C-alpha cells in the first residue's frame, strides 16, 4: 500500500529537481534577463508612477501546474521592475540609497544553490567562520577590541533591535524598572530606534529627545543637564543612542564627548552608523568618528555604504557575552551541536536560528573588487554632496549645514513671500518628472527641505549635474 503510493509519488516528486539541461536553459534565460536590466539601467527613468497592473499577478495566482519561465519574467518586468522607484539606479538620490553591486547577487546565488547553513558552527563551520571574519573586520573598522563580535542581520532596523535588547539586559532593566529607566536620543535618531525600544518591551521607558545644535548634532551640554535632572528625580538613565550619519542630514553626533559622558554616567553607549559607518574606510574621515571605538554597540548597514543588495545589516558589540546573555538559548534537538567557544554561532548571538547565509554576498564583492575601489567610490560620494551643496547655494537656494557626510539639504524660498513648502513640492515634482534623479524631502523643526543623498555606487557627477540643471531651469522660470 505505502509502496504503491510511493511508486506513484516518486516520479512526480523527482521533477522538483531540474535535469542539467533544464537547469542550463533556466540559467540562460535569467542571466539574459539580468543582463538586459543592467544594460538598460543607466538610461531608464529612476521613478515611475505606474501602479503595477496587479491583474496579471492575481490572475496567475499560485497554480497547481508549472508555468513557463518566459511568462514569469515578463510579469516581473511589467509588474515588479517597472513601477515605483528604481533603487539600483545611479539616479537614486532619495532616502539613503543602497547598491545592488553585482557580485553580491552572485554570492547570494551560491549561498542559495548550496543552501549552506550558517546558524550554528557545528553544521556550517566555514560559513560561520566567514561571517565572523567579516564581523571582526567591521569591529576593527569601528576600533573595537579583538574580542568584540556581533551578527549580520537583514538590515539596520533588526540590528538596532538586537543592540537595544543587549543594552536592556546588560543594564538589567527588568519589567518593574522600565518606567524609571531613561533613554536618550535626538529627534534626528532613526525611527527604528523608537520602534526597537517598543518591541524590546521598553515602550514605557522615558525617551528623552535631546536638543541639537545648528548642525543637527546632539548638544552634549543639554544631554548632561537632562541626565542630571533625571538622576535628581530618582530615575535611572541607562541608554544613550548617538547617530553617526543621520538619515535626514548626514550629521555626525559628537561621539567622543558622548562616549565620555556615557562612561561617566554608566550608560550603554549605542552608535547608529547604519548609514555613516562605511565612511570609516576613509582615513581622512576617521577623526570625525572618534569616540565610536568606545561604544558598547554599533550598527552598520552593508546594504548602504558597502553597496550590497538589500538585506544586510550588522550589529557589533564590544562584549559579545551580552549578546549571548540575551540570545543564547538552544533546543534539546540541537544537543549534538557543541561549538568551539572561540567561534561563536550566529544562533547564539541573535534572535535567528535558520537564516540567510549573508556572509557570502558581502565577502564576494569585497574580494572581487578590493577595498581601494570602495574607498574611491565613498570619497567620490562625499565630494559629490559637497559639490552639490556649493552649487545649490550659488543658484540662490537656501542650503542646510555643510554636509558632514554625503547628504545635502536645500530649499527654495520664493521672494514673493508665497508658501515655501508648496514651492518646494513643485520643485521636487519637476525633478521627478525629469526622470534622471529621484530625490526625497523631510521636515526638520517645521521646515520643509529637499534632500540630495549620494550613496549609490552608480552615482557620479552627471547625476548631480542633472539635478542642478533642472533646478537652474525651474528657478529661471
Ligand atoms: C537606514 C537607517 C536605519 C535603518 O536601517 P534599515 O536597514 O533600513 O532597516 C537606521 N539608522 C540609520 C541612521 C539609517 O540610515
The CATH number assigned to the domain holding 469 equals: 3.90.1150.170
Query: Residue 463 — very low, low, confident or very high, per pLDDT cuts 50/70/90?
Result: very high
pLDDT over 90 (residue 49): no
* Cβ atoms 275, 301 nearer than 8 A: yes
What lies within 8 Å, CB to CB, of 258 at 6+ separation is 218, 220, 223, 240, 242, 269, 291
Over 90: is that where the pLDDT of 5 sits? yes
Instruction: Map grid coordinates 527613468 to a residue.
Output: 45
Q: Is the CB of 155 under 6 A from ligand 1?
A: yes
Q: How confident is the model at residue 369 (pLDDT cuts 50, 70, 90)?
A: very high
Helix (H) or strand (E) holding 299: strand 297-300
Sequence-separated (6 or more) residues with CB below 8 Å from residue 45: 86, 435, 436
**Is the pLDDT higher at 316 or at 55?**
316
Residue 61 lies in a domain: no
For residue 450, the CA-to-ligand 1 centroid distance in Å is 19
pLDDT band at residue 395 under the 50/70/90 scheme: very high
Domain total in the chain: 2
Q: Which segments of 80-219 does DSSP mark as H helices, in order?
A: 102-114, 125-142, 156-170, 191-199
d(CA 190, CA 212): 15
What is the model's pLDDT at position 165?
Answer: 98
Q: Is residue 208 part of a domain?
A: yes
Nearest CA to ligand 1 atom 2: 274
303 and 130 Cβ atoms separated by less than 8 Å = no
Helical H runs in 181-267? 191-199, 220-232, 255-265
Give the C-alpha separation, 100 to 307, whole Å. 6
418 & 315 share domain: no
Q: CA 136, CA 141: separation in Å to the nearest integer? A: 9
Q: What is the share, in percent, of the chain residues with pLDDT greater than 90?
A: 92
Q: Which stretches does DSSP call E strand in 17-86? A: 47-48, 84-85
340 pLDDT above the threshold of 70: no
Contact 366, 129 (CB under 8 A): no
Shared domain for 398 and 344, answered yes or no, is no
Same domain, 219 and 336: yes
User: Do residue 376 and residue 408 come from a single domain?
Assistant: yes
pTM strictly above 0.85: yes
pLDDT of 276-320, one tens digit each?
999 999 999 999 999 999 999 999 999 999 999 999 999 999 999
Could you tell me if 387 and 265 lie in one domain? Answer: no
- Cα-to-centroid distance, 406 and ligand 1 (Å): 15
Q: d(Cα 2, Cα 270) in Å, to the nearest integer?
A: 59
Which residue has a Cα nearest atom 3 of ligand 1? Answer: 156
| Domain stops at, among 369, 401, 429 | 369
Q: What is the pLDDT of residue 82?
A: 86
User: Is 96 a pocket residue for ligand 1 (Cβ < 6 Å)?
Assistant: yes
Domain that holds residue 394: 371-476
Say if ligand 1 is within 6 A of residue 153 CB: no
Residue 242 covered by a domain: yes
Tell me: do 388 and 257 sit in the same domain. no
Q: For 391, list phi and psi in degrees, rounded to 5.
A: -70, -35
DSSP code of residue 81: I
Whether the pLDDT of residue 136 is over 90: the answer is yes
Q: Which three cell numbers stand for residue 87?
A: 533603487
- Report pLDDT digits (tens) over 219-245: 999 999 999 999 999 999 999 999 999
Amino acid 339: pLDDT: 67
On whether the CB atoms of residues 249 and 189 are closer than 8 A, the answer is no
Give the pLDDT confidence of 12-25 residue by residue, as tens digits: 999 999 999 999 99
pLDDT in tens, 63-99: 999 999 999 999 999 889 988 899 999 999 999 988 8
Q: Is the four-CA dihedral 428, 432, 437, 439 of positive or negative sign?
A: positive
Amino acid at each position: 500500500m505505502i509502496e504503491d503510493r510511493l511508486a506513484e509519488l516518486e516520479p512526480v516528486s523527482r521533477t522538483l529537481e531540474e535535469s542539467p539541461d533544464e537547469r542550463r536553459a533556466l540559467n540562460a534565460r535569467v542571466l539574459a534577463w539580468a543582463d538586459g536590466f543592467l544594460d538598460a539601467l543607466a538610461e531608464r527613468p529612476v521613478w515611475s508612477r505606474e501602479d503595477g497592473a496587479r491583474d496579471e499577478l492575481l490572475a496567475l495566482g499560485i497554480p497547481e501546474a508549472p508555468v513557463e519561465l518566459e511568462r514569469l519574467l515578463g510579469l516581473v518586468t511589467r509588474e515588479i521592475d517597472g513601477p515605483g522607484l528604481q533603487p539600483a539606479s545611479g539616479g537614486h538620490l532619495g532616502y539613503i540609497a543602497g547598491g545592488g553591486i553585482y557580485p553580491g547577487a552572485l554570492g547570494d546565488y551560491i549561498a542559495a544553490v548550496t543552501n549552506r547553513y550558517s546558524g550554528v558552527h557545528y553544521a556550517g563551520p566555514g560559513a560561520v567562520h566567514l561571517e565572523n571574519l567579516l564581523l571582526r573586520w567591521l569591529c576593527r573598522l569601528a576600533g573595537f577590541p579583538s574580542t568584540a563580535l556581533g551578527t549580520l542581520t537583514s538590515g539596520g532596523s533588526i540590528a538596532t533591535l538586537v543592540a537595544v535588547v543587549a543594552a536592556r539586559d546588560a543594564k538589567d532593566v527588568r519589567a518593574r524598572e522600565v518606567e524609571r529607566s531613561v533613554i536618550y536620543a535626538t529627534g534626528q535618531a532613526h525611527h527604528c530606534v523608537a520602534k526597537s525600544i517598543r518591541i524590546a518591551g521598553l515602550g514605557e521607558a522615558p525617551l528623552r529627545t535631546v536638543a541639537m545644535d545648528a548642525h543637527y548634532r546632539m548638544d552634549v551640554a543639554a544631554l548632561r543637564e537632562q541626565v542630571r535632572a533625571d538622576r535628581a528625580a530618582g530615575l535611572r538613565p541607562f541608554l544613550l543612542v548617538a547617530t553617526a550619519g543621520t538619515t535626514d542630514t548626514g550629521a555626525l553626533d559628537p561621539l567622543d564627548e558622548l562616549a565620555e559622558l556615557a562612561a561617566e554616567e554608566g550608560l550603554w553607549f549605542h552608535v547608529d552608523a547604519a548609514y555613516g559607518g562605511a565612511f570609516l574606510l576613509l582615513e581622512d574621515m576617521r577623526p570625525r568618528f572618534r569616540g565610536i571605538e568606545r561604544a558598547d554597540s554599533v550598527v552598520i548597514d552593508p546594504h548602504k555604504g558597502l553597496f550590497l543588495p538589500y538585506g544586510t545589516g550588522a550589529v557589533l558589540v564590544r562584549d559579545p557575552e551580552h549578546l549571548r546573555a540575551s540570545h543564547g538559548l538552544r533546543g534539546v534537538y540541537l544537543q549534538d551541536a557543541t561549538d568551539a567557544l572561540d567561534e561563536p554561532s550566529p544562533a547564539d548571538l541573535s534572535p535567528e536560528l535558520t537564516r540567510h547565509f549573508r556572509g557570502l554576498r558581502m565577502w564576494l564583492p569585497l574580494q572581487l573588487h578590493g577595498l581601494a575601489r570602495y574607498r574611491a567610490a565613498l570619497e567620490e560620494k562625499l565630494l559629490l554632496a559637497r559639490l552639490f551643496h556649493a552649487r545649490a547655494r550659488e543658484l540662490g537656494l537656501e542650503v542646510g549645514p555643510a554636509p558632514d557626510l554625503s547628504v545635502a539639504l536645500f530649499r527654495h524660498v520664493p521672494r514673493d513671500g508665497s508658501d515655501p513648502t508648496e514651492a518646494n513640492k513643485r520643485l521636487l515634482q519637476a525633478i521627478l518628472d525629469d526622470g534622471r534623479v529621484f530625490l526625497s524631502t523631510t521636515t526638520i523643526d517645521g521646515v520643509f527641505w529637499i534632500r540630495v543623498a549620494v550613496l549609490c555606487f552608480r552615482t557620479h557627477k552627471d547625476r548631480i549635474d542633472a539635478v542642478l540643471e533642472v533646478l537652474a531651469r525651474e528657478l529661471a522660470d
